[in-house]
Structure 1
Amino acid sequence: MAGWPIVRIRIDMAYDGTDFSGWATQPGLRTVQETLESALATSLRTPAVRVTCAGRTDAGVHARAQVGHADLDEGVVDGYVGRAKEPPLEALTRRLNGILPLDVRVHRVSVAPAGFDARFSALWRRYAYRISDSAATVDPLMRHQVLAWQRPLDLDRMNEAAALLLGEHDFAAFCRRREGATTIRTLLELSWSRDDLGLAVAHVRADAFCHNMVRSLVGCMLAVGDGRRRPDFAREVLLGLVRDGRVTVAQPRGLTLEQVAYPPDAGLAQRASDVRKVRSLD
């Protein structure tokens, strides 16, 4: 309703990316953003709602803990959802999950603190990439969440290679370039371990990621882990500063956004301001 003050809401959600063409709205394609925005518009009986997320996932990539924000007229939630006996935003969460398909779930809707921006206020994002590298661990029921690899992987070699990539670098060799966007990132964690099921799991955490960056890093590590490349291959690719045809981008199915971290409320606005500045290594 025109004239109402604007309130920003935070949306915590999860989704199975198998049948989505990624997060971002694309004409004629099923996307998470379009699906969520449509459900919000229906729930709130408003023409359009724009949702910004912490990290735009590619087609087939999953999210266990995606975060988004949307700006609404203050009276919309109270006026339409608040008729229920439960608190308005709890009612909105329930109504959204009643409208959304089962491969998207909203965990919580809350009023965002001042200065909050789901994308720019984030300190870091953490992904996991899961791989089954033996016949004994391949589970057909997990085929959309776990990559089946035909060769055994040496995680010690993969961790040796991963250590060469940590820190702030220009990751152009591992990214699909976008016009006007920087490829400088700080890789805070890249390590491999076995989970309780025996799966090889990559733990990847950075302040932000370029397009295809995690899957390219995993593709590089796979070549090292199955013996096709030496561990120092990872550093060689990094220093090349251009996409390397020897690195195959890993399939999306094994990748899941696991966590997004934010600073204390008092630091949200400053973090968003700092992140918007163009980065360089000078």
Structure 2
Amino acid sequence: MSTELIKARSQLSGIQRYLKQKKLLPAIVSLHDAIGIILRTPLMAHEKKEFGTSVEQALYTLNNDAEFKKVCPMVLEYNAGQEKQLMGTLRELLEDLQGSAVDEAKQLLAAIEEQKVKGLARGKELLGRKKFKDAKFVFDKLVLQFSDDTDLKTQIAELLLKAERHEDALEYLTQALKEFPESAHLYNRVGMVLRKMNRFDMAEKYYVKALKLAKDDPGLYFNIGRLYIDWEKWDKVARVAAMAVKLSPDFSEAKKMHTFAKKKMRKEAAKQDK
């Protein structure tokens, strides 16, 4: 996932926190900027669905905020494919509000983003020096400070995965998934971590949940194929690899996976015939 999309998710998840802190303008600016990223970034089908859900949740929270009702007499509505209209409405609303206050809100958001970046960089540095407990302390402190930032937890998990700290990564991914159970991406990542931990049965269950949310994602079928390779379930490898190729005919790695699985199946059949 691109840095821009991660930023958009972080902005959407922060809206409720800003409203709780009585920071209305940062909440509106966050929604406006997040939708801008969504509009200019090509999204896969399951990503469109996930972002649509996040925008709907953000609008519900915003429309029910007492301070927002004072500055915006209308209820903001959103339907898939109407991002431009919503962004235009938010832009008009921000223009109607005091310019200096909007600038201050943007500066606040930039400072918060910088704080997260610095925390992630510090944790990454500690992981590189194999100071795992110290890194975990930094990450836990960051999550405590931005407790509702689902994508921050995901970013931390990715850093831990690269350092092969699978148990710790699973902890943060599980937290993120509890906050955003509609995310195929998170189910996929949890499945991948469990595969690396050789917990194949549990990994399969998470992948099945991911498929329910993103049944047209060829990359997801390929990832499931990697699970079945490690598990040596060659018939299932062949099946999911074939599905990946069907969805994406130019997916060369999936084609290789399918060929590999068929070869393994033939060898297994030959052994049984002896």
Tell me the TM-score normalised to structure 2 length: 0.27
Greater share of strand = 1
Q: Which of structures 1 and 2 has the larger relative contact order (alpha carbons within 8 angstroms, sep 6+)?
A: 1
Query: As a proportion of its length, which structure holds more helix?
Result: 2
